[in-house]
Chains A and B, each alone.
Chain A
């Protein structure tokens, strides 16, 4: 996009071009060299810094043909003052699983976004998408069409399946128990309709981490977290353990930090022992001795449900729903579980009620029955401590 207009002075923002950390102000200014919209943004944000208040508002719903989401409409609240930020919509572009790119792909993306938008991005947004920041209503469709030519589709927004995300998994992590990137790609392709055409009470998030280190923060922010795990013994290479000791690692200390005392160090025989039945797969020993210890061989996922940020009923960290489940392509068992859960939620959930809140409202027992799962001690930190037990009719003798 062409520009002639001079940007007004931005003394407050200019201060944030100093300092060592990369500056977002410098980035906006780079874009403002060729984009009027980026200039408009700069002026509006400077005003926010002066007045200590935001200047964005919702407006009419905007989008692209055939989709009910993927675009977030954004307008300045003061078009007279900030005419170049009049329309400043966001396009959520589904990122490549694991955030891997070729320079060729990124350049093609930049060429399109320079043509149709502000030339500004979030790499990446909180959900995982590439966020293209700032375009007009008019440019949405042509931009989407152009993105399609380089294989970039939109992600989810609104009451839909949101864009999935995952850690780099087996592509570059020795701890990954699953092919996280393939799983994300497969599920994303399978659920295109659910992503692009919102039909649910509220957002639904699925995030995937290759192991319990949970680098994708899946359990904290997804309604359904798929976390790689294993069920058999940790693989131990005693030779490498001894090398760590020789290099100064205090093995007694390492063992003391095992939360379940599953780890033992035999000083005399210089041997590490692991009581598999006591191991809770906390990753500690594997994290500190990556050369010596490896995840087990019987691999799959743990499914946690209900994770979310505080709005509305308080923050939740996902609860265990399925302790262990195989996770191999084409992930039929996972898809089946997703369908059972989303069907139950779509049927019983209130408007803007996240899955975790629904389960709390109806009870875990009701939910388990609804999705056809049996209660397990792995699902709780402790059983009930009150006597108000609910019995079903068929569980008691009829009297009268």
Chain B
């Protein structure tokens, strides 16, 4: 009988001795150079963490390569960050420079610490999800190719900027609370192959799968039909019934959202709000998306005060100024019509032009 219910490996066996000795005793940290963290403990001991970029989708070869590096410079200890970077944990300061040198030789990008644009949190996309409207890995690769200087610290930003990419409106990850979020969307409701549906559709299950109650039976065709007005194009029904298809390469695409944050630092957590409702899917480079993200970063970086996150800056100047400064059209698509929509309507005579 195979083992079950034993949980993950015990984290205590995965920690370098310097962390075990100083667990809960860290006093402060600083960033001596881009991509490097220096944590100092009340015992006087220190730990250097060197952060490198990763594609998140990695191979065994990559795993073995970072393992080699960790063994050479970190007694085999390393970790990953919540934003999918790799961190080499160096307890012997003498090994820091040689590590950085090898990382440079091997073309690893060191950065993503402090006032920088770190790795994009992204979803599965065409690589592995059945709901993907676009490819999150491809978008991430293209956007980060243009953001490399912000990652490595060659260019600086007023504050952190968390970018996220989700390939459908399910928004896996914390897309809805990111400084900039790129989200794949459908613009047309699902189509039903009635002939096929009459043979394979488990009608009650399909009806139950719709969160908005948009699906009703069509007894004549032994199939179902979708109420245009109620359908919010979430794609749930297509998972349940193979006769329903929502993918529409001509109409599917990408939307861009701004100003969200999850941290309680200084200001409250905020939702990302719609900036650009639609950009067509344009693989392999998605130039319109990369340009838009770059533009948003630049507009924010050149207008925000030091320390201001995207949403804090917009909060200070107001959305009406944001749309003007960023030179983005404000359309009917920007008006909320979902739950809690009226909390977004303005009810004061105070506004700017």
A interface residue numbers (CB < 8 A to B): 12-13, 15-16, 19-28, 30-31, 38, 41, 45, 48-49, 51-58, 64-67, 74, 88, 90, 94-107, 109-110, 113-114, 119-124, 126, 133-134, 141, 144-145, 148, 150-153, 165, 167-168, 170-174, 176, 179, 181-182, 185, 188-189, 192-193, 196, 212-217, 219-221, 257, 259, 281-284, 287-288, 290-291, 294, 309-315, 317, 351-352
Instruction: Point out the residue from A30, A213, A281, A352 that lies within 8 Å of B211, measured CB to CB.
Output: A352
A-B contact count (CB 8 A): 334
Contact in complex: A57, B78 (CB < 8 Å): no
Size class of the B contact interface (CB-based, 8 Å): 35 or more
Question: Is B49's CB under 8 angstroms from A110's CB?
Answer: no
Q: Is B352 an interface residue (CB 8 A)?
A: no
Beyond A96-B8, A103-B68, A315-B171, 18 additional contacts (C-beta under 8 Å) are A21-B109, A21-B140, A22-B109, A24-B57, A30-B61, A31-B61, A45-B127, A54-B131, A54-B133, A103-B71, A106-B66, A109-B63, A110-B63, A122-B56, A126-B172, A134-B128, A151-B9, A192-B5
Top 10 closest A-B pairs, CB basis? A103-B67, A19-B145, A312-B211, A48-B126, A52-B249, A212-B264, A192-B5, A103-B76, A170-B24, A21-B144
Residues of A within 8 A of B249 (CB): 51-53
Distance (Å) between the CB of A203 and the closest chain B CB? 11
Select A148's contact among B3, B55, B68, B212, beta carbons within 8 Å. B3
Given known A-B contacts A148-B3, A313-B339, A22 and B265 have beta carbons under 8 A apart: no
- Give complex CA distance A53, B133 in Å: 7
- Asked, given contacts A88-B128, A102-B76, whether A122 binds B57 with beta carbons under 8 Å apart, the answer is yes
User: In whole angstroms, what is the CA distance A66 to B1 when docked?
Assistant: 10
B177 touches A20 (CB 8 A): no
Does A153 lie within 8 Å of B7, measured CB to CB? Answer: yes
* Interface flags, B139-157, vs A, CB<8A=1, else 0: 0111011001000000000
Max chain B C-beta neighbours (<10 A), residue from A54, A281, A352: A54
Query: Would you call the interface of chain B mostly helix, strand, loop, or mixed?
Result: loop
B231 / chain A contacts, CB cutoff of 8 Å: none
- Check if A24 sits within 8 Å of B10, measured CB to CB: no
Residue of A57, A167, A309, A313 contacting most chain B CB atoms (<10 Å): A309
Cα A291 to Cα B30 with chains together (Å): 9
Given the interface contacts A28-B59, A52-B252, A311-B211, does A15 sit within 8 Å of B77 by beta carbon? Answer: no
Contacts of A220 in B (CB 8 A): 174, 176-177, 262, 269
Is the beta-carbon distance between A174 and B26 smaller than 8 angstroms?
A: yes
Q: Which residues of B contact A19 (CB under 8 A)?
A: 141-142, 145
Q: Is the CB of B60 within 8 A of A24?
A: no
Residue from A88, A101, A214, A310 in contact with B78 in the complex, judged by beta carbons closer than 8 Å? A101
- Given A119-B60, A148-B2, the answer on whether A103 and B14 have CB atoms closer than 8 Å is no
